[in-house]
Structure 1
Amino acid sequence: MTSLPVANQPVHRSGALLDHLARRVRLRSETVLAPLGLRPRHLIALTVLRESAGSTQQALAATLEMDGTNIVGLLNDLEAENLVARRRSPEDRRRHVVELTDAGAKRLAKAEFALAAVEDEVLGALSEAQREELYCLLQKALAGSDARCTTALDD
């Protein structure tokens, strides 16, 4: 049996390595987030709310690609810990606006500090320049763009 020739195939494939690395980061991340009462999905929601300075519940569900039932459960978890606050939108009383509380911002900062230590552990074999390049390349791959990577180290 002969194998079919494959033209223009790269020598190495990255998918399995990316999956393995992501799994290592995820497992370590869950370990450091648990004492803070957070799960990765909580962290993502808090980050989105911080970056957007609040959001409607519906827009947050769309950003997080979650259905209405699941976003309500997620927000209930965060609201029970006083990490987010929901209020009626002044423009449309049928909608809820979700905002990060001061306690939420503080917990998010603690989580990000803990996660930085996870990245240092998992990516410890890479130099700062290599980490910046990896970050840039991952952003580029995610965006599907041919844009040139620019990092702070390029300056």
Structure 2
Amino acid sequence: MASLPVLNQPPHQSGALLDHLARRVRTRSETVLAPLGLRTRHLVTLTVLRDHGSSTQQALAATLGIDSTNLVGLLNDLEADHLIERRRSPQDRRRHVVDLTDAGVKKLAKAEFALAAVEDEVLAALTFEQREQLYSLLQQATAATDVVACAGSEDEPMPPPMRS
């Protein structure tokens, strides 16, 4: 059976490779985060709080792109481990402000160190310069798709890209 030629197809398609690499990173990341008592969603929340400072629960839910009900469960996990604290907003007593604790800063640093080792493992075939170029290209592609996604839906804001 002869294969049919495909017209106007780019010579390389990166989607499957990116997905494969992402699965490897995700699997290894989950493995190194588990002993720290963290999941990816915890890590993203802690990173947002570190990088952007205190936040109301409502603003944090919007930044993370999750329902406020789901955020409460997530924050309960982090608060139980003393990684964040919630307090009433002095400006509006109906709102809660979420802060990263010193323990949260330390745990996040440990997690980022562990995740850097995962990247070193998964991207070992690339030189430092190639890894920097990959990061720059992925950041550029992500920024472009974030603009398209945000233009299409205000309900799904994207979290900022993380760099370990």
Identity of aligned residues (%): 73
Verify: 1:120 aligned to 2:98, yes or no.
Answer: no
What is the match of residue 149 of structure 1? none
Query: What is the CA distance between 1:71 and its match in structure 2?
Result: 0.1
Query: What is the CA distance between 1:6 and its match in structure 2?
Result: 2.1
- Show CA shifts across 1:21-41 (max 9, x none): 000000000000000000010
When the two structures are aligned, how many residues end up with a matched partner?
A: 144
SS of equivalent residue, structure 1 residue 98: strand
Equivalent positions of 1:1-155 (< 5 A) are: 3=4, 5-7=6-8, 9-144=9-144
What is the match of residue 148 of structure 1? none
In 2, Cα distance between the equivalents of 1:99 and 1:23?
A: 31
- Show CA shifts across 1:78-97 (max 9, x none): 00000000001111111111
In 2, Cα distance between the equivalents of 1:85 and 1:33?
A: 21
Structure 1 length-normalised TM: 0.89
Query: What is the CA distance between 1:4 and its match in structure 2?
Result: 6.8
Larger RCO, structure (CA 8 Å, separation 6 or more): 2
SS of equivalent residue, structure 1 residue 38: coil
- 1:100 maps to amino acid: L
- 2:105 maps to amino acid: A
In 2, Cα distance between the equivalents of 1:10 and 1:2?
A: 17
Query: What is the CA distance between 1:10 and its match in structure 2?
Result: 1.5
SS of equivalent residue, structure 1 residue 61: helix
Query: What is the CA distance between 1:5 and its match in structure 2?
Result: 4.9
SS of equivalent residue, structure 1 residue 99: strand
Going from structure 1 to structure 2, the CA distance change for 1:106 and 1:2 (only over 3 Å counts) comes to closer
Going from structure 1 to structure 2, the CA distance change for 1:138 and 1:59 (only over 3 Å counts) comes to same
In 2, Cα distance between the equivalents of 1:4 and 1:120?
A: 39
In 2, Cα distance between the equivalents of 1:14 and 1:20?
A: 10
In 2, Cα distance between the equivalents of 1:2 and 1:126?
A: 34
- 1:49 maps to amino acid: L
- 2:66 maps to amino acid: M
In 1, Cα distance between the equivalents of 2:114 and 2:130?
A: 21
In 1, Cα distance between the equivalents of 2:7 and 2:92?
A: 57
Structure 2 segments unaligned to the other structure (5+ residues): 146-164
SS of equivalent residue, structure 2 residue 97: strand
In 1, Cα distance between the equivalents of 2:4 and 2:22?
A: 32
- 1:110 maps to amino acid: K
SS of equivalent residue, structure 1 residue 144: helix
